[in-house]
Amino acid sequence: MKKLHDIDLMEHADGEADHGDLLRDPAARAKVEGLGELGELLRGHLELSADAVPSARFEQVWDAVDKGIAQPEKRRGVWHSIGAWFERYRGHVITGVVSAGAVAALALVLRGSPGSDGPIANHGTGSPTVTPVAYRPTEIESLDTPGGDSTVFNLDDEDGPATVIWVTPADTVEGI
């Protein structure tokens, strides 16, 4: 049979292990009772020590606690309110942000390649320059004109882009 020691008795007394068979021995039983006695002595002593502190002293402690819990509330202010609102509506906010992002991404895809006439151009040094996006009419490169010839001029000057279409009928004699 395994030899049990006082530490096993202590485990049993504390309810951490079951060594009930030990208690058949009167000496072991007396030791367990001794542990209980010591515990009761300490509990009683500490509770009496707590009772001996004047209530006024605890009132001072409460005053300090009261101040301690009031200050953070004052400091919180607007940011705390925003934080609390976000905490409360976190799900809605995240859903909204994701939805907006998806819509923006879709819009970018549908708009076509961003390299053709993107609004931001970087000229190498300094800050990026934002170029306003101007309206550009549809560019005509050629024109079929039955019964004649046509010439298309695309002009781009300080007044903006312009297209000139020159049509020459087939029966027209040049110079007349």
Q: Which residues bind other proteins (CB under 8 A)?
A: 5-7, 9-11, 14, 16, 27, 30-31, 33-35, 37-53, 55, 57-58, 61-62, 64-66, 68-70, 72-73
The least distance separating other proteins from the CB of residue 83, rounded to whole angstroms, comes to: 12
Q: Residue 79 carries which side chain, given as an amino acid letter?
A: W
The least distance separating other proteins from the CB of residue 11, rounded to whole angstroms, comes to: 7
Torsion of CA 100, 101, 107, 110, to 10 degrees: -140
The least distance separating other proteins from the CB of residue 48, rounded to whole angstroms, comes to: 5
The least distance separating other proteins from the CB of residue 5, rounded to whole angstroms, comes to: 4
Determine the Cα–Cα distance for residues 96 and 99; give it in Å rounded to an integer: 5
Question: Is 170 in contact with 154 (CB distance < 8 Å)?
Answer: no
* 65 φ, ψ (degrees, to nearest 5): -65, -45
Residue 123 corresponds to which tokens in the numbers above? 């000229």
Q: Which is nearer to other proteins, 61 or 102 (CB)?
A: 61
Placement of tokens 């000496």 in the chain: 27
Q: Which is nearer to other proteins, 34 or 96 (CB)?
A: 34
